[in-house]
Structure 1
Amino acid sequence: MAATRLFWERGYEATSIGELTAAMGIRPGSLYAAFGDKKSLFQEVVRSYGRSPVGAFMGVALEEPTAYGAFARILREAAAIYPDPSHPAGCLTISAATNVTPQDAEIEVSLRTLRNENLATFEARLHRAHQTGELPPAANPRSPAAYFAGVIQGMSQRPRDGATAAELTETAELALTAWPAAQH
Structure 2
Amino acid sequence: MAGRGRPRSFDRSVALGRAMETFWRRGYEATSMSDLTAAMGINSPSLYAAFGSKEKLFREAVELYAATEGAPITRALAEEPTAYDAVAAVLYVNARAYTDRERPTGCMIVLAATNTGDDVARDYLAGWRRSGVEQLRERLDRGVREGELPPDADTAGIAEFYTAVLQGMSVQARDGARREDVERIAQRALAAWEAVTGAGLQSSGSSTGAMSS
Give me the TM-score of the superposition, normalised by structure 2.
0.81
Alpha-carbon contact 2:148-2:199 (below 8 Å) kept: no
- Number of residues paired by the alignment? 180
Q: Aligned partner of 1:40: which letter?
A: K
Q: Percent sequence identity over matched residues?
A: 44
**Deviations 1:57-115 (Å, cap 9, x if unpaired)?**
221110112111100100111111100012100111111013222xx312111110000
| Corresponding residue for residue 147 of structure 2 | 133
CA distance in 2, matches of 1:5, 1:50: 13
Unmatched 5+ stretches in structure 2: 1-16, 201-213
| Corresponding residue for residue 9 of structure 2 | none
| Corresponding residue for residue 144 of structure 1 | 158
| Corresponding residue for residue 173 of structure 1 | 187
CA distance in 1, matches of 2:186, 2:103: 21
Superposition RMSD in Å: 1.3
CA distance in 2, matches of 1:15, 1:98: 14
1:65 to 66, 69, 81: 81
1:43-82 to structure 2, matched below 5 A, reads 43-52=59-68, 54-63=69-78, 64-82=80-98
Closer, same or farther: CA 44–182 of 1 in aligned 2, 3 Å: closer
Unmatched 5+ stretches in structure 1: none
Secondary structure at 1:110's aligned position in 2?
A: helix
Instruction: Tell which structure's C-alpha radius of gyration is larger.
Output: 2
Alpha-carbon contact 2:22-2:31 (below 8 Å) kept: yes
- Aligned: 1:90 with 2:87: no
CA distance in 2, matches of 1:55, 1:86: 17
**Deviations 1:9-29 (Å, cap 9, x if unpaired)?**
110000000110111111101
Q: Aligned partner of 1:111: which letter?
A: L
CA distance in 2, matches of 1:45, 1:174: 33
